[in-house]
Amino acid sequence: MNVVVVESPAKAKTINKYLGSGFKVLASFGHVRDLPAKDGSVLPDEDFAMSWEVDTASNKRLKDITEALKSADSLILATDPDREGEAISWHVLEVLTKKKALKDKAVKRVVFNAITKKSVLDAMENPREIDTPLVDAYLARRALDYLVGFNLSPVLWRKLPGARSAGRVQSVALRLVCDRESEIERFVAEEYWQISADLKTPRGDAFTARLVSHDGEKLTKMSVTNGDVAGDIRTMLESASFLVDSVEAKPTRRNPSPPFTTSTLQQAASSKLGFNASRTMQVAQRLYEGIDIGGETVGLITYMRTDGVQMAPEAINEAREAISTRFGNRYVPDQPRIYSTKAKNAQEAHEAIRPTGFERAPDDLKRYLDADQLRLYDLIWKRATASQMVSAEIERTSVEITASGNGKTAGLRATGSVIRFDGFIAAYTDAKEDGEQSDGDDEDGARLPEINAREAVAKEKINATQHFTEPPPRFSEASLIKKMEELGIGRPSTYASTLATLRDREYVVIDKRRLIPEPKGRLVIAFLENFFERYVEFGFTADLEEKLDRISAGELAWKDVLREFWVQFHAHIDDTKELRVSQVLDALNEALAPLVFPVREDGSNPRICPTCGTGNLSLKLGKYGAFVGCSNYPDCNFTRQLSADQDASGDAALANEPKDLGKDPHTDEPITLRTGRFGPYVQRGEGKEAKRSSLPKGWAVDSIDHEKALALLSLPRDIGQHPESGKMISAGLGRYGPFVLHEKTYANLESIEDVFSIGLNRAVSVIAEKIAKGPGRGRGTPAALKTLDDHPDGGPITVRDGKYGPYVNWGKINATLPKDKDPASVTMEEALELITAKAGPSGKKKKPAAKKPAAKKAAKPKAKKAATAKAAPAEKE
């Protein structure tokens, strides 16, 4: 018997069927070891020694593998065909070797790019050794990410309260988002005019031509900058005659794009399907690991973490056959198309993302796939198929027209295109997929009517339209991934996790699919750019990525790269020990002036305190982060929340003098609208006994009147007595939003308006629904929304909805679902991955480590050069 180790239980089940009874396939459930989230996991002073830790769940997996090996002839490591997969095989082998579980048993490493019977059996016939350079590249990445995270994050905590973490790739990605926001803030719109003519041929066919020259001068988009000039040109054209100078039709070819890589798949899925990067990879993982099709489980796509654009020769032949069958022989090129990657060192799985069988068209799989799986498979199948089809044949026509009148001339141009043969477009329309806006006018309009040279055309209307330049668009996830790839930052397997980290750290927020940096994120980047500029430089990060790739190619020694990095980085960390907070604040005030000191409507100095009129405003650092305060504190108590969407003039007006909203009809106390460190609020009365209520999210300062202020100050309000208990039900606004309360049961409401309008009957129903789901935190476990299968270690896995959102539960382990994940769609494989990750060394709810002997504690200072934080969130790739 042979023991085969793969990563996921879904793959294990499928591959065991392919291999038969002579094999036992076990899952490692991802990584079996990780660097503990504590000081000393990487020791630069000990030649970068790394301490690995096996968590409880992984111990069970390794025990199962060890037991199975007792009666086995060999161990076959069959984890994924990329850097992480190679590392998992290395970890498993290292642990088993230390356990002396291998003895004289043969060890083989096999890789397959698709989970199909043929791919798996072929791989078994062609084993190899562990790829040591690839493992070295993994070790270098993990060490670098640990050293950056566990040394730079504590500096942020000390010098910039409220900041959560920094990371080698994470921070550079955040810088891209913040730099774009700064560009938008600095942008000054420029006026320009576009002039065109609606014309008619002698045959009565209409078309439009745009102005390209005037009085012998060529015009660009920005040449006509004011209405007076535009008016003069328009007047000239109104009285001009129009003659066609030339008509030129040029046949062109448009070639298909290569099959998807990880990044191009994420970009296309974002543009065409509205998927974020994490969702795309989750769905692709399921398609790769296998779907039950009529009683047979088969992987539908090849491995989805890759920067390669090639397809295997047999796959190209399959694609050509499918094209001939579905579209006809004319759509098959004479020779197969061969693509080459643009990446400097494409070292992931080398084949592009493609269907494992081109004969399985999307329509044939509808009954086996859920909606997301079908849409993504359809995208992958069409792109891969189109990549082997003939070019589209397009005819582009350009018409040059001269307008003459009042002794002046002007040139106009009409353009159009028509598809003479659709070619690959019959399978896949290769539209713009990166989410960026076009920065120019579309040169190719619709199809033009018949127009002949040297014929006169009639003027119908002259159009002169005013426009203003627009700032560069904020990044979408797709366009940010594209930019990172262009700069050589990160690798295919890291993009989704990097973006997820930025969201989880609350450094960015996504609005209408655009990434908007939060003030917290901008403060972090401003700090790093001023005091750690080298480590957020695009060129430096890309150069380090290239060195890591050269390690994987066997061209560099991994510890040499670490030494070179650590010497300079550690010295830079030491330099910040003398950095004063006042220096930090001065630098941030300057770097973030548009955010910290927004322009006031009255034109007054935005840095002068609006309350005392003499103090200077500046960033202040508090326990919960940064805010704006006055230099005359404590004599002047002006504070303002640091917010990207703050109304500076409104805040200033409120700070200078609270807005009087009237009096309370029952107590005769004044009600005022004010602003403070945590934003605007309403207040009844004065002094310490005054009642206050912050404005709910979404309520604008300008909308607050006497009625709304009274409503806020009346909370919590009594709704009525519960018909069964006789106890009062109340409604209020708490830290986590609007709620109703009966005895000790809190139930969330959908909106703040519900707090003021909910009646007794609905309140009773909401409370009953909450009780049916189960008590909240600290009072039991919510009822299961969905019960999955039993965990391999025993005990059911369930999906539940808690106070802070849906999660999967196994025993005492709760793993939060991604924000965009529908609880009803969670699969067993996804749940196991989440639970395994949560139970790992970096999880918050792991088993406490035993206390170390005093001797080990005494040796701890050696580790402090490597890390100063106790649990800094080192970036993981």
Element counts in the chain: helices (H) and strands (E)? 24, 32
CA distance 256 to 877: 32
First to last CA, the chain: 35
Q: Give residue 70's identity as a one-letter amino acid code.
A: K
- Euclidean distance between CA atoms 873 and 871, whole angstroms: 6
Q: Distance between CA atoms of 129 and 107, rounded to whole angstroms? A: 8
Q: How many CA atoms lie within 13 A of 268 on its CB side?
A: 24
**Residues facing residue 509 across a β-bridge:** 516
Do 291 and 300 touch, CB atoms closer than 8 A? yes
Please state the length of the chain: 877
In this structure, what is the dihedral angle of CA atoms 380, 383, 385, 390, given to the nearest 10 degrees?
180
The beta strands (E) that lie in 642-758 are given as: 659-663, 670-676, 679-684, 691-694, 717-721, 728-734, 737-742, 745-748
Residues with Cβ within 8 Å of residue 746, at least 6 apart in sequence: 734, 739, 740, 770, 776
Contact 290, 333 (CB under 8 A): no
303 an active-site residue?
A: yes
Instruction: At 412, list the tokens.
Output: 């106009």
Instruction: Give the alpha-carbon dihedral of 485, 486, 488, 490, to 10 degrees.
Output: -20
Phi, psi (rounded to 5 degrees) for 861: -50, -25
The whole-angstrom separation of Cα 508 and Cα 496 is 14
Q: Can you tell me whether residue 683 is helix, strand or coil?
A: strand
In 3-state terms, what secondary structure has residue 226? coil
Closest by alpha carbon to 150, among 862, 876, 867?
Answer: 867
Q: How far is CA 502 from CA 175, 178, 509, 524, 645, in A?
A: 11, 12, 8, 12, 19
Cis peptide before 716 (omega within 30 of 0): yes
State how beta strands 617-622 and 514-517 pair: unpaired
Catalytic residue among 288, 303, 331, 807: 303
The span from the CA of 232 to the CA of 224, in Å, is 11
The helix (run of H) or strand (run of E) holding residue 210 is strand 206-214
Residue 145 corresponds to which tokens in the numbers above?
A: 């990410």
* DSSP 8-class letter at 216: T
Mapped onto helix, strand or coil, the DSSP state of residue 391 is coil
Dmax (CA) for the chain in angstroms is: 100
Q: Cα angle vertex 187, ends 183, 192, to 5°?
A: 140
How many Å apart are CA 267 and CA 284, to the nearest integer?
14
Q: Which residues are catalytic?
A: 303
